[in-house]
Amino acid sequence: MNRTLYGNLIFELSKKGRKGYSLPQDYDRTHTTAELPEALRRSEAARLPECDELTVVRHYTNLSHNNFGVNDGFYPLGSCTMKYNPVINEEIAAMKAFAGLHPLQPAETCQGALEVYYNLQQSLAELAGLSEFTLNPCAGAHGELTGLMVIRAYHEAKAHPSRTKVLIPDSAHGTNPASAAVCGLEVVEVKSLPDGTVDVAHLRQLLDEMGDQVAAMMMTNPNTLGIFEPRVLGITKMVHEAGGLMYYDGANLNALLGECRPGDMGFDVMHINLHKTFSTPHGGGGPGSGPVGVRKGLEQFLPYPRVKMEAPPTATEGGTAPLFTVDFGKVSPSGDDGRAGTSLGSVGSFFGNYGVMLKAYAYILSLGREHVKQVGPLATLNANYIKERLRDDYLLPIQGLCKHEVVFDGLVDKSTGVTTMDVAKRLLDYGYHAPTIYFPLLFHESLMIEPTENESKETIDAFINVMHTIAAEAKSDPELVKTAPHNTPIGRVDDVLAAKHPITTYWKSLEN
């Protein structure tokens, strides 16, 4: 891209009086600013860029070429499951019959859309081994909060409001303690053993000390190191015996999909990240979807709306098709938050991100019962292949089989001073998205690689070769790696400056 010609910002291309639009001739000009109260009107014109249409098109086309997505190349971002987003999902979500729906239209007029919604709820319940799902939450972290609210409501209903502690392993994703805190619960950290699994002796000690105050334990399995927790059945039993519930962070469900179910491991509440496990696009802030499932006996705490299937009318009643209904909950006497009975009320707007759900459901149907079981084993095979082929150059802190992702602790050879950050930046020069770095926090130089089940052996081999090349460069020319990237539109940025003094608008940048 020619930056001097096209400029960095649309504001820099602005020339007073240039226009890139024309209003339709029948444009209704009756709505003028005169209808706005004086106090709300601008006193001077907004400082908007003034550009012709071709300049605008070139500017944004060039910007889009700087983007990197799964469709551009290998994207091994650990814990994020950046799998391929099949095109058929997009086609279905774009169908006018779905995309043109209004969330308030009567249920009789959108039975097909409600059927999809209902079927997705049922499919997720079957895959998770749980009783019922809400599709309302809009992301994994939102699901965590919703799930913890369900757990809190459960303890309140049992007259145990003093159960306010949430046990969370120190390997957990940062959203786990954050969600617990937002829910008004208190986080208690459970230590991990050197192999990354839960220190059960520490858990025992915590339960002995404060068991009657424990609301829940949150777990990710396989955990954020890609390790399956071998003592999971014992752990869920211990927490249940102490009166707490088990929450399953489903971000790593891809490793187990269709093979092994959180409900069967003893979990009571979980979320699923549709934008990870179920192939819907993510990155750049969404949209996502974080459905929450519960085991039998907790359904009444789930939020509204709920989509239900009525028994199909009998032949004598003259119909055959089932009827799908929406329950938005009753408006409570004290407010209009939709809270009714024991339900949480509503946690999001209307039905949640319906387009994301359509894509996830299309993915489930494309795989079917038979192929869904191949996802976890293939993702696991790919991760272990990478692990075995990179372990001579990259430090492997945990031996043995991993699940769908592998964590290295930087380069084996620490004498060069080349860090995980440097390796990640150098990968950009070779046209790869960087793996997740410096997470999990258990190691100093975490480099977390998740290939997913989609990648061919050729793609993975090419990536492995580049990782070996970078390890060799770190020895022969460490400066080259430490100053990377060299081939990207922008070189090494100052992360600290960017975080401490962010310049978020063009006008602000002129002041600085």
379 binds ligand PLP (CB under 6 A): no
CA angle 437, 71, 61 (to 5 degrees): 105
Please report how close the Cβ of residue 476 comes to ligand PLP at its closest, in angstroms.
35
Give the integer Cα–Cα distance in Å for 113 and 119: 10
Please report how close the Cβ of residue 349 comes to ligand PLP at its closest, in angstroms.
17
Contacts with ligand PLP, 10-49, as mask; x by CB under 6 A: ----------------------------------------
DSSP code of 304?
A: B
Choosing from 273, 343, 416, 419, the residue that interacts with ligand PLP (CB under 6 A) is 273
Asked if residues 148 and 185 have their Cβ atoms less than 8 Å apart, the reply is yes
Please report how close the Cβ of residue 245 comes to ligand PLP at its closest, in angstroms.
18
Asked if residues 292 and 147 have their Cβ atoms less than 8 Å apart, the reply is yes
Give the integer Cα–Cα distance in Å for 141 and 503: 27
280 binds ligand PLP (CB under 6 A): no
Nearer to ligand PLP, 405 or 445 (CB): 405
Give the integer Cα–Cα distance in Å for 405 and 387: 9
Asked if residues 15 and 51 have their Cβ atoms less than 8 Å apart, the reply is yes
Nearest residue to 262 via CA among 97, 399, 133: 133
Nearer to ligand PLP, 288 or 352 (CB): 288
436 binds ligand PLP (CB under 6 A): no
Element (H, E) at 166: strand 165-169
Instruction: Determine the 3-state secondary structure of 159 from DSSP.
Output: coil
Nearer to ligand PLP, 120 or 139 (CB): 139
Nearest residue to 218 via CA among 180, 269, 265, 167: 167
Nearer to ligand PLP, 218 or 427 (CB): 218
Choosing from 140, 226, 258, 435, the residue that interacts with ligand PLP (CB under 6 A) is 140
359 binds ligand PLP (CB under 6 A): no
**Candidate ranges 15-23, 122-130, 138-146, 206-214; the one touching ligand PLP (CB under 6 A):** 138-146
Q: Which whole-number Å values give the CA distances from 480 to 425, 427, 430, 485, in the listed order?
A: 11, 12, 13, 9
Choosing from 51, 113, 141, 217, the residue that interacts with ligand PLP (CB under 6 A) is 141
Nearer to ligand PLP, 251 or 347 (CB): 251
Please report how close the Cβ of residue 430 comes to ligand PLP at its closest, in angstroms.
25
Q: CA torsion 263→265→268→272, rounded to 10°?
A: -60
Binding positions for ligand PLP, 65-104, rule CB under 6 A: 79
Number of residues that bind ligand PLP (CB under 6 A): 13
10 Å Cβ neighbour count for 317? Answer: 8
DSSP code of 305?
A: P
What is Dmax (Cα atoms) for the chain? 83
- Token look-up 């390890």 returns 471
Choosing from 290, 305, 355, 451, the residue that interacts with ligand PLP (CB under 6 A) is 290
Nearer to ligand PLP, 324 or 443 (CB): 443
251 binds ligand PLP (CB under 6 A): yes
Please report how close the Cβ of residue 235 comes to ligand PLP at its closest, in angstroms.
17
DSSP secondary structure, 318-364, as one string: T--S-EEEEE--PPPTT-SS---TTS--BSSSTTS-HHHHHHHHHHH
136 binds ligand PLP (CB under 6 A): no
Cis previous bond, 435, omega within 30: no
**Candidate ranges 28-36, 137-145, 147-155, 308-316; the one touching ligand PLP (CB under 6 A):** 137-145
Choosing from 10, 93, 130, 139, the residue that interacts with ligand PLP (CB under 6 A) is 139
196 binds ligand PLP (CB under 6 A): no
Asked if residues 210 and 161 have their Cβ atoms less than 8 Å apart, the reply is no
Choosing from 147, 281, 288, 291, the residue that interacts with ligand PLP (CB under 6 A) is 288
Nearest residue to 379 via CA among 327, 318, 452, 476: 452
Nearer to ligand PLP, 282 or 426 (CB): 282
Nearer to ligand PLP, 141 or 434 (CB): 141
**Candidate ranges 4-12, 135-143, 194-202, 388-396; the one touching ligand PLP (CB under 6 A):** 135-143
Please report how close the Cβ of residue 508 comes to ligand PLP at its closest, in angstroms.
29
451 binds ligand PLP (CB under 6 A): no
Element (H, E) at 406: strand 406-409
Render the burial of 486-501: b for 16+ CB within 10 Å, e for the rest: eeeeeeeeeeeeeeee
485 binds ligand PLP (CB under 6 A): no
Instruction: Determine the 3-state secondary structure of 458 from DSSP.
Output: helix
Instruction: Count H helices and E strands in the chain, helices first.
Output: 16, 12
435 binds ligand PLP (CB under 6 A): no
Please report how close the Cβ of residue 16 comes to ligand PLP at its closest, in angstroms.
43
277 binds ligand PLP (CB under 6 A): no
DSSP code of 99?
A: H
Please report how close the Cβ of residue 219 comes to ligand PLP at its closest, in angstroms.
10
CA angle 60, 63, 67 (to 5 degrees): 130
Please report how close the Cβ of residue 353 comes to ligand PLP at its closest, in angstroms.
11
Residues that bind ligand PLP (CB under 6 A): 79, 139-141, 173, 175, 220, 224, 249, 251, 273, 288, 290
